[in-house]
Amino acid sequence: GKGIAVFTSGGDSQGMNAAVRAVVRMGIYLGCKVYFIKEGYQGMVDGGKYIVEANWSSVSSIIHKGGTVIGSARCMDFKERAGRLKAAKNLVDRGITNLVVIGGDGSLTGADLFRQEWSSLLEELVATKKITVDQQQKYRTLQIAGLVGSIDNDFCGTDMTIGTDSALHRIIEACDAIVSTAYSHQRTFIMEVMGRHCGYLAIVAALTSEADYVFVPESPPPDDWQKRLCDKLEQERQMGQRLNIIIVAEGAIDRNGDAITAEMIKKVVVDNLQQDTRITVLGHVQRGGNPSAFDRILGCRMGAEAVMALVEADENTEPCIISLDGNQAVRVPLMDCVKRTKAVAQAMADKKFELAVELRGKS
Ligand code: ATP
């Protein structure tokens, strides 16, 4: 059977464990040898104890756990060819020519680069006598299947990334808690949620908590947002509301591309309306805790599909990511999605906000 390795890379998210579990079990079921690579690309570069064979029971009792039990890391070594050369040697030594990478766009971009370089890396390993010509021949192609693990839902090409739904569970629990205390004291609360380039968490949080105002990166407010905000808050109070809720994504910006922070919003509210105003920054609570049923199932389905994609692949198969399209797990070309995700980031950097929303909408 084929040698498959699974690893998690970049920021963690709830549901990664469900995906790891499904990769291991589907792999074993289909007769593959499955390995964990611990601590992301760093483990691949360092090898040794970081690359271990998995068995059926090594993924028992992890589906309900948040984070990633096999560890994740950011790895500078893998960004250099020397690091990738070491990683290639470690994989060839174990007969691993298939990778399931679970991470964000950076991790997936790294995997694609690694695959493009693979034959030249093996060439160099043969030339320096680190591997044999037989090994070079036998392991000449590297196959990649990617799963997008990210709480931000910031990746083009899939309806939902693994972890987003669980993060929303954390956020709405916190919003509900804040609403009850805000009501008692007639306060205004500004809740900062994660999302550096993508306002998905903020938008859904705002819709599901009856917020009065929301600030997101890809749709900056009109230049007179301070007045609009104050008018809206005042109108709500005049209609008898005892509280106001404002949701701000951590990457919120104005039309000049300058940050709109919770502190700035608070100052506007206090200076103009003299409301008792507090800030709550949810922070890493959002990426912690147990995965929701949705993320567990999403991880399971995507992990299983990734293994099937690798088992069916031949030398001409392009790297794919497993995407959720409607209610189906489907394979889509990896680099198309990475390119589109980068195009959204570029459109925002260029302050072409309508274009960014349009590009994201096509995902
Ligand atoms: P997150 O959504 O949490 O940011 P990510 O996968 O985008 O997840 P990154 O920190 O961008 O997170 O990437 C994770 C790791 O992937 C990096 O530390 C590095 O080892 C590898 N990587 C990223 N980009 C590249 C690249 N262009 N070439 C090689 N490796 C890369």
Tell me the per-residue pLDDT of 91-124, one tens digit each, with 9 for 90 and over: 999 999 999 999 998 999 999 999 999 999 999 9
- Residue 362 pLDDT: 62
Q: 187 CB less than 6 Å from ligand 1? A: no
Does the Cβ of 155 fall within 6 Å of ligand 1? no
Is the per-residue pLDDT at 363 higher than 80? no
Lowest-pLDDT range, 47-61, 289-303, 345-359? 345-359
Give the number of C-alpha atoms closer than 13 A to the C-alpha of residue 90, restricted to the C-beta side.
Answer: 25
Q: Among candidates 104, 253, 246, 247, which has minimal Cα distance to 164?
A: 104
350 is catalytic: no
98 lines ligand 1 (CB under 6 A): no
Closest residue CA from atom 29 of ligand 1 = 110
To the question of whether residue 287 is assigned a binding role by annotation, the answer is yes
pLDDT at 58 over 70: yes
Torsion on CA atoms 86, 90, 95, 100, rounded to nearest 10: -80
Entry pTM = 0.95
CA of 74 to the centre of ligand 1 (A): 7
Q: Is ligand 1 within 6 A of the CB of residue 104?
A: yes
* pLDDT at residue 205, as a whole number: 96
Segment 11-34 mean pLDDT: 98
Compute the distance between CA of residue 183 and CA of residue 209 in angstroms, rounded to an integer. 13
* 105-115 as b/e: b if 16+ CB within 10 A: bebbbbbbebb
User: Cα(304)–Cα(282) distance, rounded to whole angstroms?
Assistant: 33
Rounded distance from Cα 101 to ligand 1 centre (Å)? 11
pLDDT tens-place string over residues 164-199: 999 999 999 999 999 999 999 999 999 999 999 899
State residue 1's pLDDT score: 85
Enter the DSSP assignment of 255.
T
pLDDT tier for residue 214 given thresholds of 50, 70 and 90: very high
Rounded alpha-carbon distances, angstroms, from residue 192 to 53, 125, 281, 282, 337: 41, 49, 5, 6, 28
pLDDT above 70 coverage of the chain, percent: 99
Shortest-distance Cα residue to atom 3 of ligand 1: 11
The residue whose CA is least distant from atom 24 of ligand 1 is 106
Q: Which residues of 305-340 are buried (b: 16+ CB within 10 A; e: fewer)?
A: bbbbbbbebeeeeebbbbbbeeeebebeebeebbeb
Computed over every residue of the chain, the mean pLDDT equals 95
Q: Find out whether 286 is annotated in a ligand binding site.
A: yes
Q: Strands of the chain (E only): list them.
A: 3-8, 33-37, 51-53, 98-103, 143-148, 188-193, 213-215, 244-249, 277-281, 320-325, 328-333
**CA-114 nearest atom, ligand 1:** 29
Distance from the CA of 106 to the center of ligand 1, in angstroms? 3
Amino acid (1-letter code) at residue 298: L
149 is in an annotated binding site: no
Q: Which atom of ligand 1 is nearest to the CA of 108?
A: 6
Token reading at 274: 């003299």
Report the nearest atom of ligand 1 relative to the CA of 103.
6
Residue 202 has pLDDT above 90, yes or no: yes
Q: How far apart are CA 292 and CA 74, in angstroms?
A: 26
- 105 CA to middle of ligand 1, Å? 7
Confidence band (pLDDT; 50, 70, 90) for 222? very high
For residue 310, report the distance from its CA to the centre of ligand 1, in Å.
22
Task: Establish whether residue 42 lines the binding site of ligand 1, counting it when its CB lies within 6 angstroms of any ligand atom.
Answer: no
Determine whether the annotation assigns residue 156 to a binding site.
no
Say how far apart CA 304 and CA 284 lie, in whole Å. 29
User: Is 106 annotated to bind ligand?
Assistant: yes
Strand, coil or helix: what is 101? strand
| ipTM greater than cut 0.90 | yes
Q: Of ligand 1's atoms, which has the minimum distance to the CA of residue 74? A: 18
Active-site choice (12, 46, 112, 152): 152
User: What confidence tens digit (pLDDT) does each residue in 345-360 have?
Assistant: 899 989 999 998 888 8
The verdict on whether residue 284 carries a ligand-binding annotation is yes
Cα 201 from Cα 287, distance rounded (Å): 12
Residue of 58, 121, 57, 127 lying closest to 90 (CA atoms): 121
Measured CA to CA, the distance from residue 90 to residue 338 in angstroms comes to 27
